[in-house]
Amino acid sequence: MSESGPLEPEAANNEELDRYSRESGRYTHAEAEGSGKEEDPQLAESAADHASAEELYPVLAKRKRRNRILKRVAVIVLSVLLVFGSAAGALAYVYTNSLDNALAFEDEKHTDKLDTSLITPATGEPYYVLLLGSDSYEQEDRDWEIERTDVMMLVRIDPEESKVTMVSIPRDTPYVWEDGGMYKINDAYHLGGASASVDAVSKLTGVPISHVAVVGFSSLADVVDGLGGVTVNVDTELTYQDALTKEWITLEPGEQKLDGSQAQIFARARHEYVENQDVHRQNNVRTLAMAIIKEIVQKPLVELPDAALSVAECVQTDMKTADVLSLAMAFATNKDDMKIYSATGPSAGDFMEEHNGMWLCYENPEGWAALMESVDAGEEPAEIDYEATQIVPGAEEASAAEGTGEEGYVEGDEYGYYDEQGYYHEY
C-alpha cells in the first residue's frame, strides 16, 4: 500500500486547531479562524515544513544565533591561522578547541550514553556516521520540545578507497522504546537523544556506528548558501510556498544550481509525487547530500578548510574539528577517484491496528541484511526485492489495518490517526 497524503480532521473547533498547531505545526489557528473554509492540509504542511524555527520560537533563535556567531568567528580565525602555518600553531590549537566546543551537543540528553553507543573504528578502516535531519521546536513559555528526525541517513566512509555509501533509514521503520511501546524510528531522537538514534539504527542495520551529526532543517539553507549553492538534477516540477515571505517558489525539472531556500524545498517536497512520496524525498535528500560533498571536495585546497567548516558550523556532532578537516582533505586529494553510492532501506508498510492505527513499515530483517552485506563490503548496493522478504500481517490483520470501524480505531495517515470523535492525533 503506497503512502497517502495528510488527511483533514473531521469537525474540529478553533481550540482543537490551536492545539494541533502547538503540537505538530500542521494546522494554523490564524488561517482557520473565521474563514468559513476548510484548510488545505498540503499547503498547511508545506508552510510548517518551511517555517523557520528561529522565527517561531525566540528562545531557540537567540541561542542559535549566538552559537552561529561564535562558530563563524572561530572558523574565520582558524582559517587565518592555518594560512600562516606553524608559527601560529599554538593559537590555532586554542581556536580549534573553541570550535570543537561550538560543534559539540549542548543538551546532556544527547551526550548521555553517547560514548557507550559510538564505537571507535580501527585506524585506517572504513567507519559509519549517522546523519540526522532534525526539526526542533521550542518556546519560551512552554516546558516541552518536539524533536523528530524525519531524515535519517547511515553513511559508510572509506577514506582509503575514496568511497562514500549513503543509506536512507525510512522514518516509519518500527522502533520499540525501552518502555516497551511501539514507535517510529524517527521518534528515537525525541525519546532518548542522539544515543537512542545511534542504538536504534545500529541494531536495525547490524553495523557499529562511530560518529553522529545532527543538522536542523532551519540550518540547511545556511549550509548550502555557505558553499555558494549546489548543483542537482530536479526530476519533476516542485512548487512550494515560503511560509515567511508567502512567495511561491517553483523548481523546474533539469540540472540546476540551487541556493539555500531552493535546496530546502528540494529536500522537503513530496506531494508532487503520486506514489512512494517519502521514498522520493529520501532520494532527493541523498542527492542533495552528494551535491554538498562534491561541492566541498571540488574547492581549491586553500579554500577547503573554510568550506568544510562552514558546513560544520551548522552541525552538532561528536566529531572534532581535526576530524572534519582531515576527512575533507582525504577526499579532496582523491576527488577524481571518489565514488558515492546510495540506497534506501525497506519502506513498504501499512496502517497497523494493533499499534493504534499507526502507519509503519513492514518488518524486514532479511531485506536489511541483504542491503548491508553489500554496503559493508564497500560495493555498490544491488537492487533488492524487499517485497519478497517483508513480513506482512496475516490476511485477518491486514484487513483490520485497512480500517474496520471497530471501536477505538478510525483510519488516519502516516502522520497520525482519528479517534471516534473525529479528532486527529499525531503519533
Nearest-CA neighbor of 173 among 398, 414, 384?
414
What is the pLDDT, as a whole number, of residue 275?
66
DSSP output for 83-124: HHGGGGHHHHHHHHHHHHHHHS--SHHHHTTHHHHS-PPPTT
Tell me which of 113 and 176 has the higher pLDDT: 176
**Contact status, residue 411 vs residue 402, Cβ threshold 8 Å:** yes
Residue 342 burial class via C-beta count within 10 angstroms: exposed 0-12, middle 13-18, buried 19 and up: buried
Range of lowest pLDDT (108-117, 123-132, 322-331, 387-396): 387-396
Range of lowest pLDDT (235-249, 266-280, 332-346): 266-280
φ/ψ of 334, rounded to 5, equals -125, 30
Domain boundaries, the chain: 51-344
The grid coordinates listed for 50 are: 518551511
Give the residue-averaged pLDDT of 266-276.
70
Range of lowest pLDDT (114-123, 156-165, 200-209, 270-279): 270-279
- Report the DSSP beta bridge partners of residue 241: 248
Give the residue-averaged pLDDT of 278-288.
81
C-alpha 254/C-alpha 262 separation (Å) is 14
**Contact status, residue 172 vs residue 281, Cβ threshold 8 Å:** no
C-alpha 1/C-alpha 324 separation (Å) is 41
The conformational region for residue 422 under phi > 0 = left, psi -120 to 50 = alpha, else beta, is: left
Please report the sign of the dihedral spanned by the C-alpha atoms of residue 26, residue 31, residue 33, residue 39.
Answer: negative
**pLDDT value at 51 more than 70:** no
**pLDDT value at 413 more than 60:** no
pLDDT, one tens digit per residue, over 329-382 is 888 888 888 899 999 999 999 998 888 889 999 999 999 999 999 999 999 998
Highest mean pLDDT among 11-20, 77-86, 281-290, 360-369: 360-369
**Contact status, residue 74 vs residue 102, Cβ threshold 8 Å:** yes
How many whole angstroms from its chain centre is CA 109? 18
Distances from the Cα of 188 to the Cα of 174, 211, 319, angstroms: 11, 17, 21
Nearest-CA neighbor of 221 among 269, 292, 164, 282?
292
Architecture, CATH, for domain 51-344: 3-Layer(aba) Sandwich (3.40)
The pTM assigned to this predicted structure is 0.67
The grid coordinates listed for 228 are: 555558494
**pLDDT value at 136 more than 50:** yes
The grid coordinates listed for 223 are: 549550509
The grid coordinates listed for 295 are: 561541492
Place of cell 549513503: 166
Range of lowest pLDDT (89-93, 356-360, 405-409, 415-419): 405-409
Strands (DSSP E) along 9-85, which ranges? Answer: none
HSE-CB for 294 with a 13 A CA cutoff: 17
C-alpha 51/C-alpha 122 separation (Å) is 42
Give the residue-averaged pLDDT of 124-132.
94
C-alpha 57/C-alpha 140 separation (Å) is 7
**Contact status, residue 132 vs residue 151, Cβ threshold 8 Å:** yes
**Contact status, residue 236 vs residue 277, Cβ threshold 8 Å:** no
pLDDT, one tens digit per residue, over 69-112 is 445 544 544 444 444 444 444 444 544 666 777 778 877 777 77
Give the residue-averaged pLDDT of 166-189.
93
φ/ψ of 144, rounded to 5, equals -130, 160
